[in-house]
Chains A and B, each alone.
Chain A
Amino acid sequence: MRIEPSIVLQLNSDVRQTRVADEGIILRQDDGEILVVNEVAIRFVELIDGQRSLGELADLLLQEYETEKSTLIADLAEYAGELVSQNVLNVVAP
């Protein structure tokens, strides 16, 4: 699916996540599927609150990681699309 910067995402209710050292672990309780993700990805997932748009999340990440805004938004959009298709995230709005 196409993810725009204005999109608002939330974690599916069966998703649990934590950090182990410099990586993250995401569990989908419904099917027991586990993903191991890198540091930026877990930070992105931690920031998702069902309120802020993808663009706003990118702004927050830009305060923590040095990268180009346009590149970050494109990467996040692609990654968010993957997580939506993996039933980790769902789209709240628009």
Chain B
Amino acid sequence: MSSFAAKMRQTWDQNILFSVLLELTYNCNLDCSFCYNEKGIQGKPLSREQYLELFQDLKSMSVFNLILSGGEPLAHKDFFFLGSKAREMGFVIRIKSNGHALHPATAKRLKEEVDPFSIEISLHGACAKTHDKQTRVPGSFVQLVKNLRTLKTLGIRFQLNSVLTRWNENEIADMYNLAEKFEVPLKFDSQVTPRDNGDQSPLEIAPSAQKLRELLQIQHNFREQTKADKAAQTATPRSYCGAGASTIAIDPVGNVFPCVQWRRKLGNLHRDKIRQIWENNAILTSIRQVNEEARKNILAQGEKVSRGAFCPGVADLMTGDASTIYPSVLLRSKLYEDILNRSGTDEKLTTE
């Protein structure tokens, strides 16, 4: 029997749609200054009926994971209706939320009606000053901590996600401590991305090299301790990542993209069926080719660059070309190489 990691590689290699991310709405109860969403997006939001039809189609394609994101997914007027339908249909539901609305009654409803496998909650700092600076909603940190306590009390599974920025880079240890207090994992993302409309202003708060190195060192130590699945790391899939190979993303007005980061429009659900886009779409075919090329390109650049957590979607947004290596990849590669040299070990940094 195959391992789960091998099955995941198979989804990449054979273009088996496994995970679909739905940006249900761009409405939000917070106002993060770096938010990549294109708030003023034009178009008609997908209706309840269209979502139900989509769910049926995804089920018939054996899709496993349904990731509900946004904006703030809980701000969608039909969130509970859609979440409970998705549950009834047997999807593994993952939610990306800022956690701000997860008061006791809402959290309880979420568990009973949607029963998500996981909720990934964004944390922007270890104190109110830093977190609220990002969210631009005073009191959001205090509210978040209160809501995390509620989730814990109700036995709801969650994890914390954070993007390392210049604003929170001095609080790495304290953020890990906060996660530890709740006995949940904290996953850091070291890449601040441009907005979906190409605006690069969020990059102004990209972390400093020194703090980025600190984070990479922590992540390296963690991998060393846990000895992450080596077989999974050494397997050789055809594509660089799952974008357009096993995943897609759909925005609130029905536009379909290879991934939440890779905003090349493949079609629109007001006009096209998801199966048709997945199985017979010229743009997606070329995306898959680019993804395969990106893999070869990164490997050809050698170990140094392959350690830099390159993302073709971010490359496309930053440079207009999904295979161009952008500066933060080179920086991460250099820092990571330094970490390995000092620790005397060698391993490849795989994409997270």
Q: Are B92 and A21 in contact (CB under 8 A)?
A: no
Interface bin, chain B: 10 to 19
For the complex, give the distance between the alpha carbons of A50 and B271 in Å.
39
Q: Which B residue's beta carbon lies closest to that of A21?
A: B10
B286 within 8 A of A: no
Which chain A residues in 13-45 approach chain B with CB under 8 Å?
A: 13-14, 16-21, 23, 25, 27, 29, 32, 34, 36-38
Q: Are A34 and B4 in contact (CB under 8 A)?
A: yes
For the complex, give the distance between the alpha carbons of A21 and B11 in Å.
8
Q: Are A17 and B2 in contact (CB under 8 A)?
A: no
Q: Are A23 and B2 in contact (CB under 8 A)?
A: yes
B115 within 8 A of A: yes
Interchain Cβ contacts within 8 Å, total number: 45
B117 within 8 A of A: yes
Q: Which B residue's beta carbon lies closest to that of A30?
A: B157
Q: Which B residue's beta carbon lies closest to that of A31?
A: B157
Partner of B4, one of A18, A25, A38: A25
For the complex, give the distance between the alpha carbons of A37 and B92 in Å.
18
Q: Are A36 and B4 in contact (CB under 8 A)?
A: yes
Q: Are A20 and B90 in contact (CB under 8 A)?
A: no
For the complex, give the distance between the alpha carbons of A20 and B64 in Å.
9
Which of chain B's residues have a CB closer than 8 A to the CB of A27?
A: 64, 92, 117
- Which A residues lie at the B interface, using CB under 8 A? 13-14, 16-21, 23, 25, 27, 29, 32, 34, 36-38
- Which B residues lie at the A interface, using CB under 8 A? 1-4, 7, 10-11, 14, 16, 18, 62-64, 90-92, 115, 117, 157
What are 5 pairs between A and B in contact, CB < 8 Å?
A16-B92, A20-B7, A36-B4, A36-B7, A37-B1
